[in-house]
Amino acid sequence: MTANSADQTFDWATMAALDQEGQNGAVTAAYAAIAEQDEATREKTLAASIEQIYRMPDEKLRSMTEARLRAWMNLPEDKAATVGNSFETVMDKMPVDIAMRRVTVVQSVAFKFNAEDLEHLQHIVPRVLGDAPLAVPSMAMGEGKAKPWWKFWAKD
C-alpha cells in the first residue's frame, strides 16, 4: 500500500500473492484505511480495487473474496458498514461479467463461514450475499430429503 497525496493506492496483486492469513491481515488493513476516506475517494478506490481483483484468476479471486469478508467481520461495525455499503454501491455500477463472477464467488466462499459469521456479515452489510438466503450446513452437505422427480408439482 502506498499513499499518493490524499488518495491511497493499494497493491491488490501483491496482497493476492500472500497466503490466506497474510491476505486476511493485509486486506483488513486496506479496508480500514479505505473506510477513513471521504465517500467520493472511497468509491473511486473501491472501483479500482474491484476492477483489479475481479480480473484475477478464480483461485486468487476466491481467496481475496474470503479475505474481504473476513476483513469486514474484523473491522469495527461502523467502519465495516461504511466500506461494505460503499463496495455494494460501486459493485452496482460494474460490468455484468464482474457482477456475475461476484455472485458465484461470494456464494462459494460463503460456505467457509459458520451461520453466526454469515448473520454478522449480513447485519453489517445487508447485501453482502446478494439476495440469496443464508447458507446453512445442510445446503453444503446435501442433507435433507429431496422429493422424487415425478412430484415436481407437489408443494412439500
Query: pTM for this structure?
Result: 0.78
34: exposed, middle or buried (Cβ count in 10 Å: 0-12, 13-18, 19+): buried
> CA nearest 63: which of 22, 9, 30, 98?
22
pLDDT at 116 over 80: yes
**Selected residue with higher pLDDT from 141 and 12:** 12
Write the pLDDT tens digit of every residue in 45-96. 999 999 999 999 999 999 999 999 999 999 999 999 999 999 999 999 999 9
Task: Give the rounded percent of residues in the chain with a pLDDT score beyond 90.
Answer: 63
Grid cell at residue 45: 478506490
Please give the pLDDT value at position 139: 47
Q: Report, as an integer, the average pLDDT of 109-134.
A: 83
Amino acid occupying residue 132: A
Mean of per-residue pLDDT scores for the chain: 84
Report residue 6's pLDDT band, with 50, 70 and 90 as the boundaries. very low
